[in-house]
Amino acid sequence: MIAIIDYGAGNLRSVQNAFSHLSAPAVVVRQPEDLQHAQKIVLPGVGAFGAAMKALREHGFDEAIRDRVSQGVPLLGICLGLQLLYQESDEIGVHEGLGLLPGRVVRFPKGADLKVPHIGWNTLQFQRDHPLLMGIPDNSHVYYVHSFYVDADVADDVLATTHYGRNFVAIAQREHVMGIQCHPEKSQAVGLRLLKNFMELEVSL
């Protein structure tokens, strides 16, 4: 069972519909104890980093996520969910993240030729191979809506980058912790393939 976390700050319906399209056994969970039955976990998210982390803590999901990850359960963060995997963000103040990956979340600098937020289609540049990328050609297009991006501390944690004024983390992975900055549910065949690859990852618990 794939658990999609509902903490009041996620694009749940579209993500669940995407998994339903793939005939995946994905369910929305609203209690941290429900993660104990999950074989995989999805952390979606839209909105502000600080508010999302506050909601995760208030619902008790922060420790539940860390606990299940420590047990080897694969975790996929989507959009803001990717950013929450990191140590901190400077969005409207400095806020502590889940700390599962080293790095921080920073804002795109405004410039004459760089519109913020970054909205629209852009390409993925693969940095290394991984089963999450299986069947997806390098330089495939995906859809973005975001004003902040991840500045990763460890280059080996980066599966793919995208260029928008600078290279930023598009897909991250360390062991069984993964995240994608794009909206897979809006990225057509490429987005569905990313979710399918996550769904089909082998789990050894």
Catalytic residue ranges: 79, 183, 185
Which has the closest alpha carbon to 182: 138, 149, 134, 133? 149
Amino acid identity of residue 29, one-letter, is: V
Q: In 2-137, which ranges are continuous DSSP H helix?
A: 12-21, 49-59, 61-70, 80-84
Peptide bond between residue 44 and the one before it cis (omega within 30 degrees of 0): no
**Do residues 197 and 164 lie in contact, with contact meaning Cβ atoms separated by under 8 Å?**
no
How far is the C-alpha of 141 from the C-alpha of 131, rounded, in Å? 18
